[in-house]
A and B are shown apart, each in its own frame.
Chain A
Amino acid sequence: MTLGPLLAIETSCDESAAAVLDDQGRVLSNVVHSQIKDHAPYGGVVPEIASREHLARLPGLVRRALDEAGVAPADLQAVAATYGPGLIGALLVGLQYAKGLAQGLNTTFIGVHHLEGHLMAGTLDPAFDLAFPFIGLVASGGHSALYRVEEDLSIQLLGETRDDAAGEAFDKSAKLLGLGYPGGAVIDRRAAQGDDTRFDFPVSLRDRGTYDFSFSGLKTKVRLTVEKLQAAQGALSDQDVDDVCACLRKAIVEALVSKSVLACRRTQVHRLVLGGGVVANSRLREEAVRRGADNDIAVYVPPRPLCTDNAAMIGAAALARLRQGRQHALTLAPRPSLPLGDDGRA
């Protein structure tokens, strides 16, 4: 049985995405429509707006992905879609579309765990010959966790955030600083001009024997720092904002990188793969590579379009699962809090 070409669909949050992969896992097309502009005025993702926008965009995106790949619908050997975790209404759009397409083509259908997608994004780059097992760090607006990933795709959770996700810490701090939503990119930009030694922001759970993260204390510290500056001088200068951004970014990146290195060393797995929207952060990308080199760890940082939500990574995870002989019936329903390792079958 050949597994490609395969169409993958991702609609778990605020990116509508479609991609076509061949049976070797090469990306033939990868198109994404970000809804950031639709949600920005609300200061966060509005689920009903996300669902509406997915339905309006997805059919056009799928046609574009097929056109760019030079693949006709009838050529597809499999159709994949994210079925959790995520916003239920958003997941439903991609999942139902994929099931309808698979049913109409009488072809294989498979649902994919969103985080498996992020973890498998590392397999998409032929230049990076990814070997198993590896340690995977997923850091995004909804997730911050470390995993150990085996060749059979059994995935063990090593540690995760006890409160906010890393991306949430960026977003909430940006809101506090009046930098708008989403916060990650603008904080990264402002931080580049700031002094990252001016404030002493806490690095979460630094000295504890755990792989867990915690970012709520940092958020409070940012708030107190901003209030103190406001009380002393009225408003924050541009330099103040740059400096807060630099120190915040440093603290978040330090937590993510030091726990990742700790996990690699303690488990004797000297391969680290990064994934998730926060991995677009330039300091995280540099620090992970630098500290990996210091510790004899091979670090793979996917190109930015494969870090933020996309369908190519869903295709990569789907292919890996299909090679194991897995697929799903068309009764598959969205699972907003789908745990890893649950294959969706009752």
Chain B
Amino acid sequence: MTALVFDTSCPAAVVGLVVDGAVQAERTLVSPKSHAERLAGLIEDVLAEAGAARTDLDEIVVGRGPGSFIGTRVALATAAGLSLATGAPLVGVCTVLAVAASEPGDGRVLALIDARKAEVYRRLVTWEAGAVRALDEARASSPSDAAAEAASCAAAIGATHLIQPPPTVRLVPRQGPNTIGLWRAARAPDARRGDVVLPNYCRAPDAKLPAGARPA
């Protein structure tokens, strides 16, 4: 089972190749403004390093956010084109869950992504017997609410610089998910499969209706 895995919804983009659950190649790029330009090259790099051909792909695993709206669409649009070309099914995964699954934990962990506008996207997970499981849905939250949630956790992972939890909480800073985290998230029950996988934006578009008007 060969999976091409990528996410561009966070400050650090990641592209990896996983064969039978083992990461064969991985590239990380911390440069949000150039993710759209560099993604194709990073995909070529991991395929070449792993000695895999496009036709070998059994699935394309891609983070569907929440995260940067534009970044999430960069990954999902690219993945949809690749999927049509190669016939490899598309699997959209929760990026916050993938962040949580990027490093093994024990017990409850709060995963965080910078949501800008003084908020974080957060999701609560639990690690039991080496497996990660989501305990709730991803959503936007204030940093103070997230810090209060983290207080009941063994650890917080991701954009931990945005919250100030009690010192008992172990902090695991990350700028985005890694390959194995995305691959693990693809085994979760909320992974989406299909020709069209849409982002989980967690927020409505920023648009104001004229007074008295209602959305169509």
Contacts and interface: CB of A to CB of B under 8 A. Distances in A.
- The judgment on whether A and B are partners is yes
Interface of A: 37-38, 40-43, 46, 48-49, 51-52, 55-56, 58-60, 62-63, 73, 88-89, 92-106, 330-334
Interface of B: 34, 36-41, 43-44, 54, 69-70, 73-74, 76-86, 195-196, 198-199, 201, 205-210, 213-216
A100 B82 contact: yes
Contacts of A55: 73, 76-77, 80, 198-199
Given A96-B36, A96-B74, A334-B36, A46 B196 contact: no
B195 A49 contact: no
Contacts of A88: 70
B78 A99 contact: yes
A312 to B, nearest CB: 20
Given A89-B73, A92-B73, A98 B81 contact: yes
Most-contacted residue by chain B among A62, A93, A98, A104 (CB, 10 A): A104
A43 B212 CA distance: 12
Given A55-B73, A55-B76, A103 B205 contact: no
B196 A92 contact: no
Contacts of A46: 205, 207
Contact of A100 (B37, B69, B81, B199): B81
A20 to B, nearest CB: 13
Given A51-B69, A55-B73, A92-B73, A101 B198 contact: no
A6 to B, nearest CB: 15
Contacts of B205: 46, 48-49, 52
Given A62-B84, A99-B78, A92 B40 contact: no
Nearest to A37: B216
Interface SS of chain B: helix, strand, loop or mixed?
helix
7 contacts: A96-B73, A96-B78, A97-B81, A99-B78, A100-B83, A330-B40, A333-B37
Given A51-B70, A331-B37, A331-B41, 16 more contacts: A37-B216, A38-B216, A41-B214, A42-B209, A42-B213, A48-B207, A49-B205, A51-B69, A62-B84, A88-B70, A92-B73, A100-B77, A100-B78, A102-B81, A103-B81, A104-B82
A49 B207 contact: yes
B85 A101 contact: yes
A96 B77 contact: yes
Nearest to A91: B36
Given A51-B69, A92-B36, A96-B77, A59 B41 contact: no
Contacts of A97: 77-78, 80-81
A249 B205 CA distance: 34
A328 to B, nearest CB: 11
Given A333-B36, A333-B37, A42 B210 contact: yes
Contacts of B41: 330-331
Nearest to B4: A104
A331 B216 CA distance: 37
Given A48-B206, A101-B81, A63 B195 contact: yes
Nearest to B57: A104
Given A55-B73, A93-B73, A103 B82 contact: yes
Contacts of B83: 100, 104
Contacts of B213: 41-43
Nearest to A76: B85
Given A48-B69, A60-B195, A92 B80 contact: no
B216 A40 contact: yes
Contact of A41 (B81, B84, B206, B215): B215
A147 B99 CA distance: 51
B37 A92 contact: no
A100 B79 contact: yes
A75 B82 CA distance: 15
A344 to B, nearest CB: 11
A236 B102 CA distance: 65
Contacts of B34: 333
Contacts of B214: 41
A45 B171 CA distance: 42
Kindly list the 6 A-B residue pairs having the minimum CB-CB distance in the complex, ordered from nearest.
A104-B85, A100-B81, A330-B40, A101-B81, A100-B78, A96-B77
B38 A331 contact: yes
A103 B57 CA distance: 13
Contacts of A94: 77
A89 B54 contact: no
Contacts of A99: 40, 78, 81
A101 B69 contact: no
Nearest to B38: A331
A321 to B, nearest CB: 20
A205 to B, nearest CB: 32
A334 B37 CA distance: 9
